[in-house]
Structure formats: C-alpha cells, structure tokens
Structure 1
C-alpha cells in the first residue's frame, strides 16, 4: 500500500506538468489554426467553394471540441495568465499597427461594394427625398435582376442604422460602420467577462477575466477580411451582428424586453443571421417580455409593409429565397440531382437544435455555441458563400475560443 501511494505521489507532479503543458499549448494551437483558416478565406474570396467548406469544417470542429471539453479544469495559474495577457496585448497592438495604416484611409471614402452603396442610396431616398427605396428602379440596376427586384434588398432596419450616410455622403457610412465595430468589440468583452463572472469566485479571478477579454479581442481583429470588408469596401453586416451581441448582453443581464428589441431590430435589418439566433430562444422557458421586445424591434418591417407590401416582400424575402447559386457555393460543384440535399440539411439542422433546446434552460455560452454551429451549417449549404458573411462569425468564434481556449486537448 505504501509502495502504491509513493508511486502515485511521484507521478502527480508529472501529471500536473503535462496538463499545464496541454492547457498552455491549447490556446496557441487554436490561434494558429484560426489564423490559417482566416488566411485561406482572405486568399480565396471568390470561387473555390471546397476550400471554404474545409475552412468552415475546421471552425465547426474547433467550436464543437472546445465546447465538449468545457467541464475540464484549467491547470493554469496566475503567472501563466499574466504572460498570456501580455502576449495577447502585444499581438493586438501588432494587429492594429498593421491594419490601421493599411485600411484607415478608406474610412473617408464612400463604399464601393453593392451592399454598401445601395444602403447609402436607400438612406438618401428615404430621409432626403421621402421616397420608398424598395420601389426604386435605380438602386440595383444589374441586368440579371427582374424589374420587381431592383429595389433595396435588405430590411428597413439597415436604412435606420445607416441614416447618417444620407446627410454625410462618403464619410457617414464608414464612420457609422466603425461605431458598430466598436460596439461589437465592447459587447464581446462584456459577454466574455459576464460568463466568467457567473462562475463561482473560487474558479475565477481578475487575471482570468483580463486574459480572456484580451484573447477575444485578438481573435476578433485578427482576420484581415474584417478590416477589408468594413473599412475598405463597406460591407454592412457589422450592424446586425452588433445588435445581436448587444441583445445577448441584455440576455446575460436578464433585461429581456431590451434583448428582444435589439434582436428584433437585427431581424428587421437582415433576417439572416438574426432568424437563427432567435430560433435558439424558441424554448419552453421563453419570456413574454422577450417576445414583446422582438415585435417592437421588428416593427420597421410592418411600417414598410403598410407603405408598399409587394415591393417590400419582393426585394427582401422573395429575391433572397429565389437566388440562383453562384461559383462560391457547393451547388456549383455538385450534380443538379443532389442540390435538394442542401436545403434538406438546413432544415434538419434547424429542427435538431429546436428539439434539442426545447426543454432546456440554456446559458449564454451554450446559446452562442448552438447558434454558431447552426449558422455554419446554414452558410455552407447556402447558394452563396460570400466574404461579407464571415463578419457574422468572427465575434462568435472569438467568444467561444476565448472562453475555452485552454480546453482544446482532453486532460483526463
């Protein structure tokens, strides 16, 4: 019995050292993997759908693995957390030192991508000329679009969010996007800190919070594509994403009415990705205040439906569901007879999460993870996999990896 105890005592320090090594290398490995995936996304913007499929598969596997290991105990002490915080702060400074000079000047230029300049045009039509942008024949003049689909293609919440673009042409749009990017970063920090604070005080200390928040900022600002889409070409996806993250912060603080308003407004801005996050709240314990808030937030849709329901439905909903696939999607490399598998996969994934969560009370962490996994499946099987859609995923991936960054490798 003494021999066994002595052997166990001698092996315990080695086992702790091994666990510490695994936990330390976990974040580095995840960071390198994410960097490589984001570089592939940056390099293969248009086309190469199988490359994008592999990248999304890697992100899916990473998120799922980290979440499955969430109950593991971190064997990382304060000295390592301090070093990790300094490392993350240095990386963040290097990212800004590289990206700000490269993309900062574009802040004062008008958007060049269609989802940007059509939003700016729609804001001018509504707020300056008093016209319905969904009836305009001059916003989207692409010849492949039928006349009934040449109005504004996003929800009216987008026009409200970019109202400044109507009064300050050129600079108003990009400055507004920069504000939304800052809101996204602040909301992400609040979510990470809130999730850590919800754990028992014996498990969490100040350095755990600081290091996790800094890690989330590194992961958010790491992809060059984020800077390119928001500051150079003028993608507007950062706005509905900022609303969703603010809504999750309100859920975390149990301010259900305001959470519903923000998520409903995000849906009225761009129904994807908001619709799939809202689906995560279709549970037995759903709050009435949340539903009321969603109805209030989505009210801009009702206003424009009353103004001209046909043009609104044609441009925001029917067009989106009747799009032909392009070369960015898996449709383009799949035989036509198998195309039915893609919407079927989307439906099955949505039903799975609805059934899985129906009787559960989900934490914010689990809600975000479920939302991320579902959104990856929806994106991979959609008719378009465009680079601006990646903006939806950057803060979600940053949140999950920052929280569970030491738990990639099993230690049991």
Structure 2
C-alpha cells in the first residue's frame, strides 16, 4: 500500500511539474514575442544590430520549439480552456485598440512608396492600357537610373489590387483587409488540419493563441492600415497555397504559390525551394507554371522593362542604414551572400530525400527566411509582415514545448 501511494504521488507530482513547465512555456513565449515586437515598433529605420538581435531571438525560439516537437505531453483540458479564454480576451483588446488607432486610415490612400506606386500602376494598366514597367513617372527618384523607374513588383500585384484603379484609396485598403483575412483564415486552417484527433479545446486554444500572436504586433496594423504596405498579399497566397498542399490539392497549391512569385518573387521563391524534393508532384509544378502566367504575359509585352524593374534592380540594390552591411567593414560583406547560399543549400540537401509535413515545411521556410532577411541589404519594416503569421503558427503549434518535459 505504501509503495502504491508513493507511486501515485510521484505521478501526480510529475504531472504537476509538466503542467507548470507547459504553462511557463506559453507565458515565456508570448511575453518574449511581445517584447521583440515592441522593439521592432520602437526601432524602425536604421538600428540594424537591434533588428539582428530581434530576429535572432525569434530564430532561437522557433528552432527550440521545433526541436522539442517529439516530446509527448498529457495536459489537462482546463489548461486549454484557460488559454482559449485568455487569448480571446487579448484578441478583443487588440482589435479594440488597433481599430481605434488605425481604423480611420482605411479610407485614405496609401502613403508609402510600395503602396502608392501599386495604385498608380493599376490605374496606368487598367484605365489607360499602358505598361507600368515602361513608365518613367512611377518612381521618380534621383538615385534610380532611368531603366529602374517603372513598377518594382510583379504583375500579379496589379491583379490583386485592381480595385484600387477604380476606387482610389479605399479600394487599395479594402483589398489589403481581404488579404489580411485570407492570411488569418489560412493560418487557422493549417492549424486545424495539423491537429486532427486532438480535443476540441486543444484545437480551439491553439487557433486562438495563433490569432493573438498574429494580430499582436502594432507594426502589422500600421503597415497595412496606415501607410499601405502590400506584403500581406503575397504572404496570403503562400499560406492559402499551403492549405491546398496540406489537403493534397497540388495543382491549386502550385497555382497560388506561382501567383505569389509573380506578385513578389521574395518570399515566394524561398518557400518554393522547400518543395524541391525527390517526392515533388508534377501537378504542383504545372500549377506553378500556370500561376506565373501574368509575369509571362508582361515578358512578352516588354521583357527588358520587367526584368530591369522586378529582378535586376533587387540584385543590384545598394545597402542602406537598416542592414548589417552598414555597420560591417566592406571586406566582410561577402559573408552575407555566403550565409544566404549556405542556408539554402543546407536545407535543399537536408530535405531532398524527405517527405516533409506541413509544419516542418513552414518551419524550414521561416528559419531560412530569417537568415535571408538579416543578411539582406535592406531590413525594412514592411518585410516583417512576412513573418507574423509564420511565427504565430509555429509558436502556437509548439507553445508547450519550450522546456524539456520530465
């Protein structure tokens, strides 16, 4: 009898310890991410070393959570109910605060160059029938050569923001809201698809935690609502494409990811690289070809102007004060592209013979994208939009696994 009681008490203490570790993992992860997002909000232009530290923290958090993914956990239902209630209240508070602060901007035209040039290019294409890549008036900037003063993003960007040509200002912002909703819904669908067989409260709490983390950064609201950054569009296409890939709808997955590439070739190119594996589906490749047809059409129209503005400009870009280049001796600048190439080659070799799950594909993509971003010639605030849904998905999925279980 004494042995049984001791055993039962031992199991109870072990479960209590694991519950404490799981709850601490959630609390630490949420607070840690909040602090990083506040730093991103506070230090906008310049401050490359601060941004490097923030991205390094996110990289370490995601990698640690993913490496502990195999550890088994038996957590009580009241923990998931508590998480769901907490996340619901925080999401409501976020929407109340951010809509009060940025809701009026929905009815104003975009003020950042990536926004107003998109609106201008859409009017040029759909109302005047002209090629925006040939325009000398979209980007009149003294540092740009004449051949780089056309539209700087893929032609699928113009398809996504076509309403802005007919409804200036509000048409652009409404489409950004639609894409924001698509990104959030797709992220939730990916989580639900990964959690088949789990309890209802476990699924609900994970979805709500992910939504909380996605909408938490003020920078997301500022960029999408206030200044009109358009990076939410290509990311929403990638996430929706992953939903179809998760459901083995490979043709549609390829179409959406190819369309994202034709919208803005980064970050789409790095997610597509994660599919370069031995088990790649031919229907997926066919879908990618279909997805990039808008770019092919403009290549036929005038290939030189498109290549000069969408691709050559990016590859020949000078670094600015937001990048690590600006605080690194020139002799060491070669290390940055080498780091990018090494990370890409490593993941290609690592993944080639594997059949990756949805979450592993997204984790590899996120970690690669962080390396690419911190070693790029620009670390601009609108780029952060790429990471918010990815970080939210990873942390919500593995939020209880930061600390090793006993």
**Residue equivalent to 1:364:** 358
Q: Matches of 1:98 and 1:293 in 2, distance apart?
A: 41
- What is the rounded CA distance, in whole Å, between the counterparts of 1:8 and 1:332 in structure 2? 61
Q: Does 1:223 align with 2:214?
A: no
**1:44-83 → structure 2 map (5 Å cutoff):** 44-83=43-82
1:302 paired to 2:290 = no
Alignment-derived partner of residue 182 in structure 1: 181
The offset of 1:25, in angstroms, is: 1.4
Distance 1:301 1:58 in 2: 36
8 A Cα contact 1:155 1:301, kept in partner = yes
Q: Could you tell me how far 1:24 is from its partner in structure 2?
A: 1.1
Task: Render the CA deviation track for 1:131-181: whole Å, top value 9, x for unaligned.
Answer: 000000000001100000000000001011100000001110000000000
Contact preservation (8 Å) 1:24, 1:76: no
Shift of 1:11: 2.3
Aligned to 2:205: 211
How far is the alpha carbon of 1:75 from its aligned partner?
3.0
Residue 160 of structure 1 aligns with which residue? 159
Asked whether 1:292 is paired with 2:286, we answer: yes
Instruction: Structure 2 unaligned segments of length 5 or more: list them.
Output: none
Provide the C-alpha distance between the structure 1 equivalents of 2:8 and 2:207, rounded to a whole number of angstroms.
36
Gaps of 5+ in 1: none
Q: Which residue of 2 aligns with 1:355?
A: 349
2:122 matched to 1:123? yes
Q: Deviations over 1:268-315 (max 9, x none)?
A: 000000000000000000000000000000111110010001111000
Which runs of structure 2 are paired with 1:190-209 in the superposition (5 Å)?
190-197=189-196, 201=197, 204-209=198-203
* Aligned partner of residue 154 in structure 1, secondary structure: coil
In 1, the alpha carbon distance for the partners of 2:7 and 2:53 equals 44
Does 2:232 correspond to 1:232?
A: no
TM-superposed CA distance for 1:3, in Å, is: 7.9
Residue by residue over 1:204-226, the C-alpha shift from the partner in whole angstroms, topping out at 9 and shown as x without a partner, is 11111100000010000000000
1:31 lines up with 2:25 in the alignment: no
**Alpha-carbon separation, structure 1, partners of 2:26 and 2:181:** 25
Superposition map of 1:2-41 within 5 A: 7-41=6-40
User: Structure 2 matches for 1:273-284, cutoff 5 A?
Assistant: 273-284=267-278
Contact 1:85 1:214 in 2 (8 A): yes
TM-score w.r.t. length of structure 2: 0.99
Q: How many residues align?
A: 406
Shift of 1:15: 1.5
Match of 1:241 in 2: 235
Matched, 1:315 2:309: yes
Task: Write the deviation string for residues 32-91 of structure 1: whole angstroms up to 9, x where unpaired.
Answer: 000000000000010110000000000000000000111122332111111110011001
**Secondary structure in 2 aligned to 1:352?**
helix
The Cα shift of 1:9 comes to 4.1
Match of 2:368 in 1: 374
